[in-house]
Amino acid sequence: MNKYQLTIDDIIGDWAYSKGYVRNVLSGFNGKPVNVKISSLGGSVDHALDIRQQFADHGDVTAYIFGFTASAATILAMGAKKVCMSKYAMFLVHKCSNWVDAWGQYNADQIQELIEQLKENKLQNDKIDLVIASIYADKCKKQVNDILDILKEGKWLTAEEAKEIGLVDEILEDESDDKVDYVSLNNKLNAFGLTPYKQPSKKEDKTSGMLDKILHKLDNLVGNKNDNTAQNKITMKEDYKGVNTILNVKGLDFDKDAKCTLTEAQVKAIEDAFKTKDDAVTAKDQKIQELNTQVENLQNKPGDETTHVEDGGKDDIDSASSAKEMYNHFKDLL
């Protein structure tokens, strides 16, 4: 089994595997080969581009692709000197996307303004797609337009398909090894701000399984430090889609007591989202109040004056008859 100096197996960005975190890891391996295990659905293109350049600058990085690896995770892998992929892994490249916030009522002018904004957004995404396609094209030794067609399809590639295109250099067979990779385990714990796991020495009691020890360590990390026998199982829940979207995470981790721990940055993100929503609600309430005031003013305003017309009775009828007779008289003369 390969020894990995860096493992990237979750979201790429500020709250998990950031460009700063990767820079700190690589700084300890200057002039040395680095093996990177990648199994991530992606994340921030900004961080991925920076990490790709870090791998390229290091010069001796080998990327190993496992599981479902997609999007930004494939971008950073392109900076490696060599890319290897498990024959049971999947590889996804696609065009970039970003959040578009367009809702509510619009008049014609506002719709046109929105159209212009979306056009500008599209142009910016087109530029990013060209950069990403150029990175893949350099790896594959293909034309950028050929890669853009692949990005447009946005479909999962098998190891064979990825190798045929040129995105990976080698297909890996299964690895079988019961040894625990403590470097990878500690790298993951460090990425999430958790205490590193201490590898047991040969003198320690080996009667309890490795799984029990890891669960016990995680139990201490989430705060149950007084109960040495408790095993606090961590469960990820994807139910809270609104919060997950705000935090840009796949799901939230809950312990056996249904408690979830958030970082200060995550709490701030939720607070900012509520503030934005409150501002929108306040603006809408003000608009409703303005419209209600206009309606009330219209209701209280007196109507326009009109001229009263009275029925002339028989005299008006006689006058109308005389006028008709006069018209007929002149009509005969004409």
Residue 198 has pLDDT above 70, yes or no: no
- Quick check: helix, strand or coil at residue 52? helix
Alpha carbons 163 and 140: distance in angstroms, whole number:
9
Kindly report the backbone phi and psi dihedral angles of residue 123, in degrees, each rounded to the nearest multiple of 5, phi listed first: -60, -40
Question: How much of the chain is helix, strand and coil, in % rounded to 5?
Answer: 50, 10, 40
Which homologous superfamily is 1-94+154-198 in? 2-enoyl-CoA Hydratase; Chain A, domain 1 (3.90.226.10)
* Identity of residue 309: V
The pLDDT value given to residue 253: 74
Each residue's pLDDT tens digit, 224-238:
444 443 444 566 666
221: pLDDT strictly greater than 60: no
Beta bridge partners of 91: 69, 157
Residue written as token pair 């853009």: 148
Report the mean per-residue pLDDT for the chain.
79
DSSP string, 182-226: HHHHHHHHHHTTPPPPPPPPTTS--SS-HHHHHHHHHHHHTT--S
pLDDT at 246: 76
Q: What is the pLDDT of residue 208?
A: 46
| Count of positions (residues) in the chain | 334
pTM over 0.85: no
Express each pLDDT in 310-329 by its tens digit. Answer: 555 555 545 555 656 665 65
Beta bridge partners of 170: 84
The dihedral sign for the CA sequence 121, 127, 132, 137: positive
* Cα-based angle 217, 219, 224 (whole degrees, multiple of 5): 125
Give Dmax (Cα) for the chain: 137
